[in-house]
Amino acid sequence: MNSGVTDTVQALESGLQHDGFRFVEAVTMRELLEAERPLADWTAFADSWNDLGPDNYLARHGRERRRRYAVYSAGPDGEIRREAHQPHYQSLDYNSLQGDIERWFEPIAANIGEGESLRRILAFCHGFFGALAPAISGWHIEVHQFRIEARPGQAGEPTPEGVHRDGVDYVLVLLIDRQNIVSGTTTIHSGDGRELGSFTLTTPLDAALVDDSRVFHGVTAVTPQDPILPAHRDVLVVTLRARDSSAPR
């Protein structure tokens, strides 16, 4: 890792430790992910958002979202392994809309899950967040591909549960694509509801780094800029939870 990248990482770590979150502009995030070489499969990676499955659980509430999901683990050896496909679970304490149920989503495609772009993103998360918690020997890592669709008269809701915590230790939100939408502003809040900051992911690779144990986050609804054209917001969300934590949150 060159000195410029090292300095950037250290500045982000310091900011996250101080504030509980950091917004990272695309140019900086690209520098971090491409420190060794370009992301050769990025086009195919981004195109995979056109093949996400429906979120049937959210559709029951009259909302539109498409997604795929995968679980990985990382141990003391640093190797990141994909685990068998399993449901996503959050308790009602963290998700008042869809908590206390096992939600099965279509798996992230094998070629995407083992592709260079995702593997590089996971390696960054493991290295960056792991440095903030060196006592943790292993991590449970969940990966979500999300597409939020907006239609005339029907806003898309990136966080339909409202301002919340995910019940993990750390979160990366990475913008993949943003087409014909307005708003989608991320807000960060303290436990008492006070807003600590806000920013909008507008350029592919814009990112949010969040200490989920300390702050809450939410994203405002998105609406079509041109009502006659398709409108969506594509993001990758990666969460890390200490593997020796007692139970799913």
Q: Residue 46: helix, strand or coil by DSSP?
A: helix
- Distance of alpha carbon 1 from alpha carbon 129, whole angstroms: 16
pLDDT at 246: 44
Instruction: Provide mean pLDDT across the span 24-51.
Output: 96
Give 69's DSSP letter.
Answer: E
Closest alpha carbon to 154 in 59, 52, 219: 59
The pLDDT-based confidence of 248 (bands split at 50, 70, 90) is very low
133-163: pLDDT as tens digits: 999 999 999 999 999 999 888 888 887 778 9
Is a pLDDT exceeding 50 seen at residue 193?
Answer: yes
pLDDT at 162: 83
- Distance of alpha carbon 139 from alpha carbon 47, whole angstroms: 28
Give 164's DSSP letter.
Answer: B
Is a pLDDT exceeding 70 seen at residue 205?
Answer: yes
Token pair 């934590």 is at which residue?
245
Domain 3-242 in CATH 1.10.10.10: no
210-230: pLDDT as tens digits: 999 999 999 999 999 999 999
Is a pLDDT exceeding 50 seen at residue 249?
Answer: no
- Distance of alpha carbon 222 from alpha carbon 233, whole angstroms: 8
Closest alpha carbon to 173 in 149, 151, 204: 204
- Check if the beta carbon of residue 169 is closer than 8 Å to that of residue 131: no
